[in-house]
Amino acid sequence: MAIPYTLEFEKPLAEIDAALDALERDPAAGEATPDRAPAIAELKKTQRDTLKKIYNNLTPWETVRVARHPDRPLFRDYIRRIVKDFVELHGDRRFGDDPAIVTGFGRIGSHKCLLVGHHKGKDTNEKLACHFGCAHPEGYRKAMLKMRLAEKYSLPIVTFVDTPGAYPGLGAEQRGQAEAIAVNMRDMSTLKTPILSIVIGEGGSGGALGIAVADRVAMLEHAYYSVISPEGCSAILWKEANPKNNAEAATALCLTAKDNKRFGIVDTIIKEPVGGAHRDPDKTATSIERWIVDQLAELTRLKPESLPPKRYERFRALGKVGEPRRSSTS
């Protein structure tokens, strides 16, 4: 079963797939040719090994490509798999309803939660409606409105981050894109209810952080989190966005889950199935669900008032600086 879309670094896999196909589809295969079975088994083993080898050694740029894989599971795919009794809530009560951010009540394990997440869209129409996961101010405001409800009803908040960035457009600017994101960051820091965030694909800058000021932050193994896209970065600093420069920028930006964990920006890396989340969405969903349930078991035991101060300290500590002499703070 070949995956229809193949990234260029998966080329060896495509070749094995083709060889397997040829063997299995050989008209003579139906006849008694028992000697073919070992060859097929051998190829399948090679396929597994190659897949593992490729995905264990992804470069940062390749990671970005996997994070954007067209078959990668999206927020709604995880809702279907993880959340019971999902009730979607629409609208920001001010301007409209942005499909690029989905919000709603639902149950995860035994916990009633509020879910918030970027949604990129599956088919072409949905993708266009969602602006490929680039939210408008009304999306961020919808998210904040519902998160305030969650605080009011003592529901933990779980956010799924998957956006190339907030939408750069005329209407977005006119309606205060920057203000919407800023207010979300400010107000999320004060919510007296547990907040979890999981970067499931693209963690694109302020557009990602606008729903990710959380008590605990996790990243899927092949997701990325960065201040700017590698293309944007290479266009500015390398003067030209081409595959070579993009790859260098991706490395320099330290955008992988491992790097972000090293800097304390994320707390946990959630392992993906061999070959990426798109090869086994069910298994990925189970891993995410387990992490959420574990964290909520801990966080819901704490006094809600104790959460904002801890959350403050978490973000307060990020970004080490050098302090050669004692600062004048008198």
Partner 1 sequence: MTQISTTSRWSETTGAATTRVPEGLWLRCPACAGMIYRKQMEANQRVCPDCEHHFRVSGTERVQYLADEGSFEPMWAELTCVDPLKFVDLKAYKDRLAAEQAKTGQIEGALTGRAFIKGRAVMLGVLDLSFFMGTLSSVVGEKLTRAIEYATEHDLPLVIVSGSGGARMQESTLSLMQMAKTSAALARFDQAGGLFVSVLTDPTTGGVTASFAMLGDLIIAEPKALVGFAGPRVIQQTIRQELPEGFQRSEFLLKSGIIDRVVHRHQLRNEIARFIDYAGK
Is residue 19 involved in binding partner 1 (CB under 8 A)? no
Least distance CB 210 / partner 1 (angstroms): 8
Report helix, strand or coil for 290. Answer: helix
Selected range binding partner 1 among 72-80, 108-116, 231-239, 289-297, rule: CB under 8 A: 231-239
Is residue 305 involved in binding partner 1 (CB under 8 A)? no
Identify which of residues 56 and 330 has a Cβ nearer to partner 1 in the complex: 330
To 5 degrees, how large is the angle CA 7–CA 12–CA 17?
Answer: 95
Residue 219 in contact with residue 261, Cβ under 8 Å? yes
Identify which of residues 85 and 323 has a Cβ nearer to partner 1 in the complex: 323
Identify which of residues 108 and 250 has a Cβ nearer to partner 1 in the complex: 250
Q: Which residues between 232 and 251 bind partner 1 (CB under 8 A)?
A: 233, 236-239, 248-249
Indicate the helix (H) or strand (E) that contains 324: none
Residue 165 in contact with residue 206, Cβ under 8 Å? yes
- The CA dihedral of 209, 143, 218, 85, to the nearest 10 degrees, is -170
Q: Which residues between 154 and 183 bind partner 1 (CB under 8 A)?
A: 166-170, 172-179, 181-183
Is residue 253 involved in binding partner 1 (CB under 8 A)? yes
Identify which of residues 17 and 248 has a Cβ nearer to partner 1 in the complex: 248
| Residue 100 backbone phi and psi in degrees, to 5 | -75, -15
Is residue 94 involved in binding partner 1 (CB under 8 A)? no
Contact pick of 213, 247, 257, 292 for partner 1 (by CB under 8 A): 213
Is residue 216 involved in binding partner 1 (CB under 8 A)? no
- Spatial CA neighbour of 130 closest among 209, 47, 199, 207: 207
